[in-house]
Structure 1
Amino acid sequence: MHFSIPETEVRSDENGSSYVAYNIHVNGVLHCRVRYSQLLGLHEQIKKEYGNNVVPAFPPKKIFTLTPAEVDQRREQLEKYMQAVRQDPILGSSEMFNSFLRKAQQETQQIPTEEVQLEIYLSNGQKVKVNILTSDQTEDVLEAVASKLDLPDELVGYFSLFLVQERADGSCTYVRKLQEFELPYVSITSLHSSDYRIILRKSYWDTAYDSDVMDDRVGLNLLYAQTVSDIDRGWILVNKEQHRQLKSLQEKGSKKEFIRLAQTLKYYGYIKFDPCITDFPEKGCHVIVGAGNNELNFHVKLPNEQMKEGSFKVTRMRCWRVTSSVSSVFDNIECLVCSTQNENTVIICSLSCCLHF
């Protein structure tokens, strides 16, 4: 997840006093608004729990009212602080950090804690309605869905909830995987659009885990529905003969055999992101990025209409981001299928290896 604080707002509290709110964005989407004092409180808690030598530097207090330039400087410092905490394997996964973000998200969207019904979609379009609290975190909602489907507890960790955007033509964009620091009901409600939905999907890349999932009836049905959906949307490449074989297996109801054949096909288990425009290898190139099998895959259409393909292993990446060159509600894309991008983007990579076509 990419944390940023791209902007601040001057707001008023219940007493009419004005204060500066720092807007925390996650993958380019507003997650919450917080005051400096709230982040300072979080910092003091983390420091008390984990020690000074672990916690990153925090911008100091100021005695006098900050000038606009000082507010912007503090914004940059707080952004770096949030990024450093999130990237730390201990601090970023701590319940202290995650609960702070969940509470701040709920307060920002002003959604009270109450029982609601939330619709979760399966890959075949079917809906599962679960009764949850608006304050339930992602793990709670996932467990509620699994219980409704009778998915065994030992298989719940093989699946995740994803936020997707549906288009008028029936296609969909995977916005991001819902994280442990957010409240799914609040996340989807805050978008104020019926175009968004939450989908249950497997969350692993290693196809060896498919065997564990297929041993269970519910797991098999979920994996089968996802595989059929990925083939229908063109994420898995299928030639005419393979299509004939798959159709025959479908008609026989041979779900395991269908999945095993699909496992041999190119890009099985990948998620494809929206088309974007890159400045590499030439400016103005259209590229489709796919993530799967521990790699990022690129299909690049050069200005001369020639198609090139390349890939590199995720384990060899030092740092990478895809950022929008225009204003968009989705500014960033992150590895492990966490965000998507619109058509006006620029790829910026810093790699420990070179990507060759």
Structure 2
Amino acid sequence: MHVCIPVTEELQDTLGCRFVLYSVYLEGFLLCKVRYKDLHLWNEQIHRVFGNRLPKFPPKYYLAMTKTIANERRLQLEQYLQQIVSDPVVTSSEIFMEYFRKLQMGTFNMPTVKIILRVYLPNGAAVELDVRTSDSAERVLEAALFRLGVSRELAEYFSLFITRKEAKGPFTVVKLIAGFELPFLTIWNLEDDQFQIEVRKWYMNPSNDAMLMGSSEAIDLLYLQAVQEFQMAWTRPTEDQQQKLQHCLKQENKLKFLELMKTVEYYGYLQIGSCVSDYPECDSEVTIWVGKNELSCHFHSHSGHTEHLRLNIKDLIFWNVRLLPKKQEVVSPNHQHLEFKFQQGSSLKCITIHTEQAFLLSSCLKKMLSERPEHRPKEELEIQVDRAQATHKFNIRPEQNGVHTKKQPLLKDEAEYCLIDDISDLNL
């Protein structure tokens, strides 16, 4: 998972003392807002549990904080949190889960109440779950799989995602939901009915399908996702394969359909659409398929030039993903790009892809690496933001999905993010 703190906000407490509020983004989406002193206190508590397993926490400053020092602290906190969330032992612990649950609930001023949460399947059907607003994605996924009859032992092969289906547009997988995230808050904060929570398989090598063949309920989920990929043309079957697959659909022969799909090009891959690239020309359109240890890119330039680039994961030297809001615009998941370098013959090439799925694409690359432990290329994570122009409007809606609260948001309705010239840790 990718953590960044692209912007900071200066506020005043009830006594008129100024403090800095850090906006923590996960996979390009706002996760929570937190003060330095709160993170410092939590670090002391969690350090008693994990000791030297944790990264070093950024030190306090007792003198006036300049812009340079403030920016240095922001980067240090970003690096600290990135290392924390990259350790599955820490993120699965109760002390971690509980703290970030409270942070998320407090950031959006959300009470803990019972709700009916819809989790969708790839065919558009949904299961309705009796959960709480404070339930983690791990808990919601467990409840969804239980309702679907999938055993807990197979939960590691599935995950929750944020997807979007436009009325007259394409279907898009937007974001992987981390186990410690609160899915209701994630979908609620998007404020758009086109987004939904969906359960999908989460592995990049289609050969892992074999691990699920002993469960008829898991086969049902695999079948629904395979049909979705086939009908949305994410895969590229030959004419003969197309006819055979259509016949299997009419016969509702799930096992035969899945067996045939394994032979189809791009089966089990994630398609990244609506991308713009600087290769082979500036603002070239590109469609990407990622899966089965490779990155397949189809480029179409405005001059009519087309090119197909197919890279094995072992050919990547490194990549980095960035969050880059444009001037006069709010920090948005749409302002993402992924840059990767690779060796082609004797030359080193670099390509930049602009897409709202940049963080998801990076997560897919990391997932492929985890499935290939013998090869781990260098990865960089860089987050860049034009802070002079970055602003964010924060609105809490009083009613959403059966939740009603008259409480005012903890944060200002409108705030300008900036770095602080003269603020010390006495007020942090």
TM-score normalised per structure 2: 0.73
The residue that corresponds to 2:355 in the other structure is 341
Instruction: Please tell me the residue identity of whatever aligns with 2:122.
Output: S
Q: How far 1:344 moved relative to its partner?
A: 11
Q: How far 1:229 moved relative to its partner?
A: 0.6
Structure 1 pair 46/313, CA: closer, same or farther in 2 (3 Å)?
farther
The residue that corresponds to 2:240 in the other structure is 241
Structure 1 pair 9/272, CA: closer, same or farther in 2 (3 Å)?
same
Q: How far 1:169 moved relative to its partner?
A: 1.6
CA distance in 2, matches of 1:331, 1:98: 29
2:312 is aligned with 1:313: yes
CA distance in 2, matches of 1:343, 1:179: 15
Instruction: Please tell me the residue identity of whatever aligns with 1:132.
Output: V
Q: How far 1:193 moved relative to its partner?
A: 1.6
The residue that corresponds to 1:34 in the other structure is 34
Q: How far 1:4 moved relative to its partner?
A: 1.0
Check whether the contact 1:289–1:296 (CA below 8 A) recurs between aligned residues.
yes
The residue that corresponds to 1:102 in the other structure is 101
Per mean C-alpha deviation after superposition, the further-off stretch among 177-186 and 81-90 is 81-90
CA distance in 2, matches of 1:159, 1:90: 19
CA distance in 1, matches of 2:151, 2:127: 16
Instruction: Please tell me the residue identity of whatever aligns with 2:322.
Output: T
Instruction: Please tell me the residue identity of whatever aligns with 1:3.
Output: V
Q: How far 1:116 moved relative to its partner?
A: 0.6
Note the alpha carbon deviations across 1:147-188, whole angstroms, 9 max, x for none: 212222332322211111222324222111111121111111
Per mean C-alpha deviation after superposition, the further-off stretch among 317-326 and 302-311 is 317-326
Q: How far 1:90 moved relative to its partner?
A: 4.9
The residue that corresponds to 1:129 in the other structure is 128
Q: How far 1:279 moved relative to its partner?
A: 2.2
2:22 is aligned with 1:22: yes
The residue that corresponds to 2:419 in the other structure is none
Structure 1 pair 112/274, CA: closer, same or farther in 2 (3 Å)?
same
Per mean C-alpha deviation after superposition, the further-off stretch among 195-204 and 42-51 is 42-51
Structure 1 pair 344/134, CA: closer, same or farther in 2 (3 Å)?
closer
Structure 1 pair 100/314, CA: closer, same or farther in 2 (3 Å)?
farther
Q: How far 1:73 moved relative to its partner?
A: 2.9
The residue that corresponds to 1:59 in the other structure is 58
Per mean C-alpha deviation after superposition, the further-off stretch among 119-128 and 291-300 is 291-300
CA distance in 2, matches of 1:227, 1:174: 14
Check whether the contact 2:279–2:299 (CA below 8 A) recurs between aligned residues.
no
Check whether the contact 2:245–2:260 (CA below 8 A) recurs between aligned residues.
yes
Q: How far 1:26 moved relative to its partner?
A: 1.3
Q: How far 1:245 moved relative to its partner?
A: 1.1
CA distance in 1, matches of 2:142, 2:319: 32
Task: Answer 1 or 2: higher relative contact order, Cα 8 Å, separation at least 6.
Answer: 2
Aligned length: 346
Per mean C-alpha deviation after superposition, the further-off stretch among 107-116 and 207-216 is 207-216
Structure 1 pair 120/344, CA: closer, same or farther in 2 (3 Å)?
closer
Structure 1 pair 193/77, CA: closer, same or farther in 2 (3 Å)?
same
Moved over 6 A (4+): none
CA distance in 2, matches of 1:35, 1:223: 43
The residue that corresponds to 1:218 in the other structure is 217
Q: How far 1:325 moved relative to its partner?
A: 5.4
Check whether the contact 1:275–1:289 (CA below 8 A) recurs between aligned residues.
no
Structure 1 pair 6/201, CA: closer, same or farther in 2 (3 Å)?
same
2:292 is aligned with 1:293: yes
Per mean C-alpha deviation after superposition, the further-off stretch among 323-332 and 281-290 is 323-332
Instruction: Please tell me the residue identity of whatever aligns with 2:8.
Output: T
Check whether the contact 1:274–1:342 (CA below 8 A) recurs between aligned residues.
no
Q: How far 1:32 moved relative to its partner?
A: 0.6
Q: How far 1:264 moved relative to its partner?
A: 0.3
Q: How far 1:5 moved relative to its partner?
A: 0.7
Instruction: Please tell me the residue identity of whatever aligns with 1:22.
Output: Y
Which ranges in structure 1 are unaligned for 5 or more consecutive residues?
none
Q: How far 1:92 moved relative to its partner?
A: 5.6
Q: How far 1:343 moved relative to its partner?
A: 9.6
Structure 1 pair 324/16, CA: closer, same or farther in 2 (3 Å)?
closer
Alpha-carbon RMSD across the aligned residues, in angstroms, is: 3.0
Map 1:133-148 → 2, pairs under 5 A: 133-148=132-147
CA distance in 1, matches of 2:147, 2:284: 45
CA distance in 2, matches of 1:343, 1:93: 26
2:333 is aligned with 1:329: yes
Q: Percent identity?
A: 33
The residue that corresponds to 2:255 in the other structure is 256
Per mean C-alpha deviation after superposition, the further-off stretch among 214-223 and 182-191 is 214-223
Instruction: Please tell me the residue identity of whatever aligns with 1:329.
Output: P
Q: Which secondary structure state, in structure 1, belongs to the residue aligned with residue 6 of structure 2? A: strand
